[in-house]
Amino acid sequence: MAHTNTVILASEGVPETRQLLPRVRQIVESNSNLIATLKPGEEIPKETERVVVIGGDGTLINAIRTTLDCEVPVLGVNAGRLGVLAEFDTNSLERNAKMVFGDQPLVRKHLVVQVSIQDRRGTQRFQSVAVNDCVISAGPPFRMIELSLKIDQTEGPSINGDGLIIASPIGSTAYNVSAGGPIVQPTVDALIISAVAPHSLSFRPIVADAETVLEIGISRANLGTTLVLDGQETHPLEEGERLIFRRHLHHAGLIGNPESPYWNTLIEKMRWGAPPTYRDRGT
């Protein structure tokens, strides 16, 4: 038996999570040293070596954000609606327990976006990270906003529209893909720039090198213009402010399911390339 110190994170108020918790706890206790069962947001002990999250992708992203500086591998057991990032169910967790809690887990490293906000005087007033995406949302009264774009000190085009998405590769299948952005394999190190409903026939999504520094200026804003991080953290934005995006110092370490390759996940869960329904084929 491995003596890996493991923490379970679970929202016991969610029925699906509550149903899975006893079995997950049994698997963890049989294969590692379970040191705590916590709710999301509770402090994780310093001696933790694995974090098993029961929930959907949102719960998993929150856990990654809180453990990022500790560089502790995180694993997701899906109890949500989709579970693109939460790759395991209880059966696959049990089958792969020796790998997960052993000396050489399959840890996939994923780029995390760091964002800071500077006020009109150039003073930094805020800094945080995003695992999936950073969204500059126009907000109420829902008029178009205008943003300036600078890539590695090179002036880019102005963007007029409903907002802008700066996504990580792991977040490329979230809001980014809904806005017409590209799907980028999660293990690629890159920054993705996609406009939300741009008032332009020519602006196209951009995939930039991971070392790129992006600067977005708020040229025209609404009263409700907001920065949204991973759909979980919001910060109001004002005209004249600037946002700086770059890769974070640490990667997110997700323990992958060897039975669930990324492209298989796209096909089965995201319905990638699903054909039309043909009457003569019955599909």
| Of 57, 133, 162, 230, catalytic | 57
Q: Would you give the end-to-end CA distance of the chain in angstroms?
A: 47
Burial annotation 1-36 (CB, 10 A radius, 16+ → b, else e):
ebebbbbbbbbeebeebeebbebbbebbeebbbbbe
57 catalytic residue (yes or no): yes
3-class state of residue 180 by DSSP: coil
Q: How far apart are CA 190 and CA 168, in angstroms?
A: 7
Q: How far apart are CA 89 and CA 268, in angstroms?
A: 15
CA neighbor of 168 nearest in space, from 230, 75, 225 = 230
Taking each continuous run of H as one helix and of E as one strand, the counts in the chain are 6, 18
Give the residues across from 109 on adjacent strands. 253
CA neighbor of 21 nearest in space, from 8, 35, 30 = 8
Question: What strands, in cross-sheet order, belong to the sheet with 252-255?
Answer: 33-38, 5-10, 50-55, 74-78, 252-255, 107-110
Question: So which residues are the catalytic ones?
Answer: 57
